[in-house]
C-alpha cells in the first residue's frame, strides 16, 4: 500500500495496521496538501475532533453509529471540496453523537482498499461508509456488491447498487451565476482589493481532472459568461490533478498573460495556484465548493466570489438517515439552486465592491433558472 492516513474523529479510531504517516496541510500553503513527514515505517494517527477510546487489540467508538469517511485525493486542508465534506461529518457528530473515522487516500488506486477496510471492520462496525468524490465510483461499483449488508454513500456520482445512496449536484447552475458575474465584471472597469480588470472581455476556467463532472462546471460558467456578454472570450485549461497548486498556477498565469482578468477554478487544492497567480498578476479569481475567501483567507483580496457546493449537506443528510434508520440505498438525491445545494458566496473583502445592480441581476437569473426560464447546459461542447 502507498502512503495513506487515518484520522480519528469524534470518538472514532483508526483501523489498526493500515495507517500511514502524513503531515498536516497548511491552510494557504502552496505545496502538496498531503505533505509527508516521517518515515514509511511509522504509523501516525491524528485526532480530527473528539477523544478516542482505545482498548487492547484495537479501538472502538462509544457512539451507537459509526461512520467511515474516504476523502478525495486532494486531501484535507484543500479549503474546498474535502473540507466541505468534513464539515458535514463534524456537524453530524455533534448533532447525533456519531463516531467517525477519516481516511485520505493519495492515489485513486487506494480507494478500494479503504472502502473495503471499513466494510470489513468489526471493531468498530461501520454503519455507513461515505465516499467523497466521483473518482471513487469505479471502486465502489466493485466494492458494494461484495458487501451487500454494508451501507455506502457517494458524492458526485451515481452508483446503481441497492446499498449505495448517491448524492449529486447541479454544479452547472451555480457555475452559471458566477460565470455571469465574471462576464459582467470583465466587460467594465472594475478595481478593488488586490486587482483590477484590464478592459479586455476575457476570462478563464481551470479544471482539475477532465470529465463529465468538471465539464458541468465549465459548461455552466461559460454559458453564464456569454449570458452577460456574448462577445467575451472564455479560455479553458485542465491540469489533470486536484492536488497540483504548481500546475494550477502555471495554467492561470498563461491565461492572465493572454488577457484574462478573472479565472474560475474547479480543481480542489490545485486552485490554490490559481489564487497565487491572481495575486501576482493583480487580477481576480473565483473559488469553488466553499467560500474560499474565508478558507483561503490570505487570497481574499483577489477572490471575487465562490460557487459554494453543499457537500456538507449531502454527508450530513446521509448520516442523519443512518441514525434514524431511514437511509435509502439505491436512491439518487440531486441538489441544485432550488434545494440550496449550490449558491454564490460573494468574497469577504471584495463582495462589498460589487454593485447592488450586478447582484440584483444575478439574483434575477437565479430565479429564472429555478423557474425553468433559463436552461443551463451541462456539456461544454454545447455552449
Q: For the chain, what are the domain ranges? A: 6-169+312-335, 171-309+350-382
Q: What φ, ψ does residue 204 adopt, rounded to 5°?
A: -140, 165
Query: Would you place residue 36 in the very low, low, confident or very high pLDDT band (cuts 50, 70, 90)?
Result: very low
Report, as an integer, the average pLDDT of 228-236.
98
Rounded CA-CA distance 175/47 in Å is 35
Q: Which of 37-46, 189-198, 304-313 has the lowest mean pLDDT?
A: 37-46
This prediction's pTM: 0.78
**DSSP assignments along 242-277, one per residue:** SS-HHHHHHHHHHHHHTT--EEEEE-GGGHHHHHHH
Question: Cβ-count burial of 53 within 10 angstroms (0-12 exposed, 13-18 middle, 19+ buried)?
Answer: middle
pLDDT of residue 96: 95
Condensed to tens digits (0 to 9), the pLDDT of residues 81-115 reads: 999 999 999 999 999 999 999 999 999 999 999 99
pLDDT of residue 249: 98
User: Which residue in this structure is represented by grid cell 497548511?
Assistant: 26
Q: What φ, ψ does residue 335 adopt, rounded to 5°?
A: -120, 120
* Distance from the first to the final alpha carbon of the chain: 43
User: Which residue in this structure is represented by grid cell 466587460?
Assistant: 187
Condensed to tens digits (0 to 9), the pLDDT of residues 308-335 reads: 999 999 999 999 999 999 999 999 999 9
Q: What is the mean pLDDT of the chain?
A: 86
Condensed to tens digits (0 to 9), the pLDDT of residues 62-76 reads: 458 999 999 999 899
Distances (CA, A) of 190 to 229, 279, 309: 15, 16, 27
Rounded CA-CA distance 249/31 in Å is 12
pLDDT of residue 300: 98
Q: Is the pLDDT of residue 200 over 70?
A: yes
CATH top-level class of 6-169+312-335: alpha beta
What is the number of other CB atoms lying within 10 angstroms of the CB of residue 170?
22
User: Which residue in this structure is represented by grid cell 494557504?
Assistant: 28
Condensed to tens digits (0 to 9), the pLDDT of residues 207-220 reads: 999 999 999 999 99
Whether 6-169+312-335 shares its CATH topology with 171-309+350-382 is answered: yes
Question: Cβ-count burial of 2 within 10 angstroms (0-12 exposed, 13-18 middle, 19+ buried)?
Answer: exposed
Domain 171-309+350-382, CATH among 1.10.1760.20, 3.40.50.2300, 3.40.1350.10, 3.40.50.11610: 3.40.50.2300
pLDDT of residue 63: 58
265 vs 25 pLDDT, higher one: 265
Q: Is 175 helix (H, G, I), strand (E, B) or coil?
A: helix
Amino acid at each position: 500500500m502507498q502512503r495513506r492516513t487515518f484520522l480519528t474523529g469524534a470518538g472514532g479510531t483508526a483501523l489498526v495496521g493500515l495507517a500511514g504517516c502524513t503531515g498536516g496541510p497548511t491552510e494557504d500553503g502552496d505545496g502538496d496538501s498531503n505533505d509527508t513527514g516521517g518515515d514509511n515505517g511509522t504509523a501516525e494517527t491524528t485526532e480530527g475532533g473528539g477523544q478516542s477510546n482505545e482498548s487492547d487489540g484495537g479501538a472502538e467508538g462509544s457512539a451507537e453509529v459509526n461512520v467511515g469517511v474516504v476523502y478525495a485525493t486532494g486531501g484535507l486542508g484543500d479549503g474546498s471540496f474535502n473540507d466541505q465534506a468534513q464539515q458535514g461529518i463534524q456537524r453530524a457528530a455533534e448533532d447525533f453523537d456519531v463516531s467517525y473515522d477519516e481516511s485520505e487516500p493519495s492515489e485513486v488506486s487506494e480507494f478500494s482498499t479503504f472502502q473495503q477496510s471499513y466494510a470489513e471492520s468489526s471493531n468498530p462496525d461501520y454503519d455507513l461508509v461515505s465516499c467523497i468524490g466521483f473518482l471513487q465510483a469505479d471502486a465502489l461499483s466493485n466494492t458494494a456488491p461484495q458487501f451487500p449488508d454494508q451501507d455506502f454513500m457517494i458524492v458526485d456520482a451515481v452508483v446503481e447498487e441497492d446499498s449505495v445512496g448517491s448524492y449529486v449536484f447541479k454544479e452547472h447552475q451555480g457555475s452559471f451565476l458566477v460565470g455571469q458575474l465574471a462576464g459582467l465584471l470583465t466587460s467594465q472597469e472594475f478595481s478593488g482589493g488586490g486587482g483590477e480588470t484590464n478592459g479586455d472581455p476575457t476570462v478563464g476556467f481551470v479544471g482539475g481532472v477532465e470529465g463529465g463532472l468538471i465539464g458541468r462546471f465549465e459548461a455552466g460558467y461559460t454559458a453564464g459568461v456569454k449570458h452577460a456578454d456574448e462577445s467575451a472570450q472564455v479560455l479553458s485549461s485542465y491540469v489533470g490533478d486536484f492536488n497540483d497548486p504548481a500546475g494550477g498556477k502555471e495554467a492561470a498565469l498563461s491565461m492572465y498573460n493572454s488577457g484574462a482578468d478573472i479565472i474560475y477554478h474547479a480543481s480542489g487544492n490545485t486552485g490554490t495556484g490559481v489564487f497565487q497567480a491572481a495575486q501576482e498578476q493583480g487580477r481576480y479569481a473565483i473559488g469553488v465548493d466553499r467560500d474560499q475567501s474565508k478558507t483561503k483567507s490570505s487570497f481574499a483580496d483577489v477572490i471575487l466570489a465562490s460557487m459554494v457546493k453543499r457537500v456538507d449537506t449531502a454527508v450530513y443528510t446521509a448520516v442523519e438517515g443512518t441514525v434514524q434508520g431511514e437511509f435509502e440505498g439505491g436512491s439518487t438525491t440531486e441538489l441544485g439552486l432550488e434545494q440550496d445545494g449550490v449558491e454564490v458566496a460573494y468574497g469577504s473583502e471584495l463582495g462589498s465592491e460589487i454593485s447592488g445592480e450586478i447582484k440584483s441581476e444575478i439574483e434575477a437569473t437565479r430565479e429564472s433558472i429555478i423557474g425553468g426560464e433559463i436552461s443551463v447546459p451541462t456539456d461544454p461542447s454545447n455552449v
